[in-house]
Structure 1
Amino acid sequence: MAAPIESEAQVGRDIVGAVLKACSLLEHFDAARPVWTLNQLTSASGMNKTTVHRLMTTLIHAGWVDRTAEGSYRIAMPVFEIGSAALVNLDIRTAARPFMVDLAETFGDTAYLMVPAEEGAVCIDRLEGNNPLVVAGINIGSVMPYHAAAGPIVMLAFSDMLRSRWIERGLPSFTEHTLTDAAALGEHLDSVRAAGYSVSNSDYLQGVAAVAAPILGRDGSVIASISIGGRVEAFTGTALEKKIEQVCDAAARLTRVAEALPQ
């Protein structure tokens, strides 16, 4: 027998707002910023100081947060224990799936997860959005050249090893927009690495554009790319800016996950 589907109203009644607020405060703590003062958390969260103080005091009482000698807040051991338990059976494909769902649902484009391999970028997951364009030719298991399309290019830009190997090869053309000149490709890779993301436009498939960002491992090496692709008309102006922002945010969050995965 199927489980009953809860209505939005029922879900709303079941949600405890204070818990959501407490969780949002915990999300501010990461490896780059492990300690926060009350004033810093108040400013970053947008909540009032009294609310932040009460929530953090509750988290301290629960054992999830500690106070430093200076009175600042830091994450306590139970959070690390729960995080470690979650990472035991987690891989990058599993971790990336919710982000791919979010990207596909938000923009209607097709979301991709690719990993580097000797002969090219391998697509290990794909999720179609609701836009009418179906990107044919890029499926799970497809091996793509590194010098075309946003996902492969961003991995090439962030990997000196791949770059030294790939640019020495002859670079075939797939459309009139494919970069086949080694010098021009090198300049493009430099700009992609500086920007932190790649945007492609009809360089692999005519009429298809994409945005990709790299997922980096603990040692800074590129382990994957996350991207969205669709009609070139949908990758311009403000729409493109929003896609870049969300793809980069997903990649940054997945990088933090990848840095914590067991080696």
Structure 2
Amino acid sequence: MTERGAEEDGAAPRSVLGRALAVLAAFSDASPELALADIVSGTGLPPATAHRIVAELVGWGALERVGRGRYRIGLRLWRIGALAPAARTLREAALAPMQDLAAVTGHVVHLVVLDGYRALFVERLAGREELTVRSRVGRDMPLHASGPGKVLLAHSPAPFVEEVITRGLPRLAPGTMTDPAALRSGLAEIRRTGHCLSREEMTEGASSVAAPVVGADGSVVAALGVVVPAAAALPPYVPAVKVAAATASRNLGSRPGR
């Protein structure tokens, strides 16, 4: 089938921009590196077209070659994404309190936002103590399987929560909540207390404490959390996490009681 014929059958995007976006969309957290054959398979583009677009994206800096015949998202695309006003403002507002929290606790600190039906890590500060965690900036995770993710889910509309449950609650670690009733109860507790205690829900051997970051309009725009060893007592971390989240909220223009 010709390239034009494939497009008319709906197998691939018609416009040049659509094709380029399809190539970029083929990459994901599960597939951060792809061979050309993977891109062809994931986009439906003819091999010659995919090869040409990939070469142009590499030349521009949106993709970069990794080893022989494999590609990943390039730094230029990341730099452009970092210019998004909402993300930049949020990270600027949260950075200082996150640094304070990391210094006080000695552990990894996360800033997480809602991205569709997933939790997206937009900032991560390393701690003094070594602890294996799955998070990295730009990675997404299921909302139900992390402290910050559950904070975001707890402050989402009920229909959204039910849609997340309908899509499935896969187990990532020993403590992941996979029972819908238990998850609903846990979300209600987060709303009541203003924080989330999470034990080995995302990563075995790691637990977390997270609290909401509130924007100027009074809505929860992010969640801020610290990751600690699974055996650690979590309540002592709650005040420091809440102070960091409240400081970030004030930096965004939030006012208590809104």
* TM-score (norm: length of structure 1): 0.60
Deviation of the 1:215 alpha carbon: 0.7
1:247 equivalenced with 2:244 (yes/no): no
| Partner secondary structure for residue 91 of structure 1 | helix
Q: Which moved more, 1:154-163 or 1:95-104?
A: 154-163
Larger radius of gyration: 1
Deviation of the 1:241 alpha carbon: 3.0
Large movers: runs of 4+ above 3 Å: none
Deviation of the 1:259 alpha carbon: 3.2
| Partner secondary structure for residue 167 of structure 1 | helix
> Which one of the candidate residues 192, 195, 211 is aligned to 2:193?
195
Aligned-partner residue type, residue 243 of structure 1: Y
Cα contact 1:119–1:143 (8 A) shared by 2:
no
> Which one of the candidate residues 95, 107, 110 is aligned to 1:109?
107
| Partner secondary structure for residue 149 of structure 2 | helix
> Which one of the candidate residues 124, 131, 134 is aligned to 1:133?
131
1:257 equivalenced with 2:251 (yes/no): yes
Q: In structure 2, how many angstroms separate the alpha carbons of the residues matched to 1:115 and 1:141? A: 11
Q: In structure 1, how many angstroms separate the alpha carbons of the residues matched to 2:218 and 2:254? A: 12
> Which one of the candidate residues 89, 92, 104 is aligned to 2:90?
92
Cα contact 1:111–1:229 (8 A) shared by 2:
yes
> Which one of the candidate residues 156, 159, 162 is aligned to 1:159?
156
Question: Residues 50-89 of structure 1: matches in 2 within 5 Å?
Answer: none
Aligned-partner residue type, residue 140 of structure 1: V
Aligned-partner residue type, residue 235 of structure 2: E
| Partner secondary structure for residue 112 of structure 1 | strand
Can you list the C-alpha shifts for 1:172-231, whole angstroms capped at 9, x where unaligned?
A: 111232111111110110011101000111111101000000012233322101100021
Cα contact 1:208–1:232 (8 A) shared by 2:
yes
| Partner secondary structure for residue 132 of structure 2 | coil
| Partner secondary structure for residue 93 of structure 1 | helix
Q: In structure 1, how many angstroms separate the alpha carbons of the residues matched to 2:236 and 2:176? A: 25
Q: In structure 1, how many angstroms separate the alpha carbons of the residues matched to 2:150 and 2:128? A: 25
Can you list the C-alpha shifts for 1:145-171, whole angstroms capped at 9, x where unaligned?
A: 110111101110111264243122211
Deviation of the 1:233 alpha carbon: 2.3
Can you list the C-alpha shifts for 1:64-94, whole angstroms capped at 9, x where unaligned?
A: xxxxxxxxxxxxxxxxxxxxxxxxxx71101
Deviation of the 1:260 alpha carbon: 5.5
Cα contact 2:132–2:206 (8 A) shared by 1:
no
Which residue does 1:71 correspond to in 2?
none
| Partner secondary structure for residue 259 of structure 1 | coil
How many residue pairs match? The answer is 168
Aligned-partner residue type, residue 251 of structure 1: A
Question: Residues 161-240 of structure 1: matches in 2 within 5 Å?
Answer: 162-234=160-232, 236=233, 240=234
Structure 2: runs of 5+ lacking an equivalent: 1-87
Judged with a 3 Å threshold, the aligned counterparts in structure 2 of structure 1 residues 183 and 92 are, in CA distance, closer, same or farther, namely: same
Cα contact 2:207–2:229 (8 A) shared by 1:
yes
Judged with a 3 Å threshold, the aligned counterparts in structure 2 of structure 1 residues 173 and 140 are, in CA distance, closer, same or farther, namely: same
- Over aligned residues, Cα RMSD in angstroms? 2.0
Cα contact 1:111–1:129 (8 A) shared by 2:
yes
* TM-score (norm: length of structure 2): 0.61
Cα contact 1:159–1:221 (8 A) shared by 2:
no
